[in-house]
């Protein structure tokens, strides 16, 4: 008998992975979480029916949500990650030798599953500079400040993550950043849901002087075309070059990932030049 996991990308499109076995299934207070061992992509974390990360291609997402903002900031010391309970973003942030990394995830089940079964992500948690907070990222941002870089590594904008794509949250982010601070956020697939990137771009443009959408190719996410956005009141330009190991990100890719296809530029009314 063959077992497959299928993610519904639209009501007419499904994408599947053949499963070896289910490692864990947890219904937390917030989400329905599966961890599968798959044939081609290794360990695969699925939350509410949506692939969050796989052993084989997680490096692309985590490098791209972290290194562009971290290398744009001249000297990032205190970093906040909202979501990101699996630890993958924290692992990449540590490559920049920060003073302090705070991971705020609403769901302790994600953190615990990663600590137990996905050491390739959660190894960041053995570093003393990384502090885990289980709680609501929106409330956390309202009460804390002094961050150089804030990375919003969330699920898609439905359910617990919905508020992370709203103006009220972006206003709070701005207040909690130091001068010259930068945020980055994952903004979904512009192929199926360009409105997610447009919404983030439009709202962030009202709050920050500089906003840059950028893309990466992530095979296990819907359409494979994934978007991110960076925002700051300081010019978004590469201030340092990567002097650490990566598998996807390069200095050249910093700028090439910001070259947007025509349909995205037209839909979002962004030239990537704000």
Catalytic (active-site) positions: 153
Number of residues interacting with ligand SPD: please give it, by CB under 6 A.
13
Beta-bridge mates of residue 105: 134
Candidates 5, 36, 41, 221; binder of ligand SPD (CB under 6 A) is: 221
Q: By C-alpha distance, which of 209, 202, 189 is closest to 263? A: 189
Q: Would you mind telling me the total number of residues written for the chain in this entry?
A: 274
Residues 6+ apart with CB under 8 A from 135: 104, 106
In the region spanning residues 128 to 167, those forming contacts with ligand SPD, defined by CB under 6 A, are 153, 155-156
Tokens 């360009």: give the residue: 194
Residues 6+ apart with CB under 8 A from 112: none
In the region spanning residues 37 to 96, those forming contacts with ligand SPD, defined by CB under 6 A, are 50, 52-53, 61, 84, 86, 88-89
Q: Name the minimum Å distance from CB 208 to ligand SPD.
A: 22
Report the residue number, 38 or 210, with the smaller CB distance to ligand SPD.
38
Q: Name the minimum Å distance from CB 235 to ligand SPD.
A: 27
Task: Tell me: does residue 105 bind ligand SPD (CB under 6 A).
Answer: no
Q: Name the minimum Å distance from CB 32 to ligand SPD.
A: 14
Q: Name the minimum Å distance from CB 164 to ligand SPD.
A: 11
Tokens 């029916």: give the residue: 49
Q: Name the minimum Å distance from CB 88 to ligand SPD.
A: 5
Q: Show the site string, 164-203: x = touches ligand SPD by CB under 6 A, - = not.
A: ----------------------x-----------------
Sign of the CA dihedral running 15, 111, 118, 96? positive
Give how far Cα 87 sits from Cα of 4, 59, 104, 131, 158, Å.
26, 12, 11, 11, 21
Write out the two tokens for 259: 């070259």
Contacts 24+ apart (CB under 8 A), 37-46: 38/5, 41/17, 41/220, 43/117, 43/118, 44/5, 44/17, 44/220, 45/86, 45/110, 45/113, 45/114, 45/118, 46/5, 46/7
Contact set with ligand SPD (CB under 6 A): 50, 52-53, 61, 84, 86, 88-89, 153, 155-156, 186, 221
């Amino acid at each position: 008998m063959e077992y497959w996991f299928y993610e519904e990308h639209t009501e007419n499109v499904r994408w599947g992975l053949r499963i070896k076995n289910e490692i864990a299934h947890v219904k937390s207070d917030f989400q329905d979480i599966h961890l599968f061992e798959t044939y081609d992509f290794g360990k695969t974390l699925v939350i509410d029916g949506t692939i969050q990360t796989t052993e084989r291609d997680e490096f692309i997402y985590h490098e791209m949500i972290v290194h562009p903002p971290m290398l744009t900031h001249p000297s990032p010391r205190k970093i906040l990650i909202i979501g990101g309970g699996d630890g993958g973003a924290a692992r990449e942030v540590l490559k920049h030798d920060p003073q302090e990394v705070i991971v705020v995830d609403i769901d302790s089940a994600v953190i615990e599953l990663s600590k137990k079964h996905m050491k390739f992500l959660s190894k960041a948690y053995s570093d003393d500079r990384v502090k885990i907070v289980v709680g609501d990222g929106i409330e956390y941002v309202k009460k804390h400040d002094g961050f150089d870089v804030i990375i919003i590594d969330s699920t898609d904008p439905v359910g617990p993550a919905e508020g992370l794509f709203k103006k009220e949250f972006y206003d709070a982010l701005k207040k909690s950043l130091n001068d010259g601070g930068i945020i980055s956020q994952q903004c979904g697939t512009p192929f199926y849901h360009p409105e997610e990137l447009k919404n983030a771009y439009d709202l962030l443009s009202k709050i920050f002087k500089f906003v840059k959408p950028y893309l990466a190719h992530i095979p296990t996410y819907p359409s494979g075309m994934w978007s991110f956005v960076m925002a700051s009141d300081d010019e978004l330009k590469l201030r340092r070059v990567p002097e650490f190991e990566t598998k996807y990100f390069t200095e050249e890719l910093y700028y090439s990932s910001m070259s947007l296809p025509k349909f995205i530029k037209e839909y979002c009314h962004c030239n990537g030049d704000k």
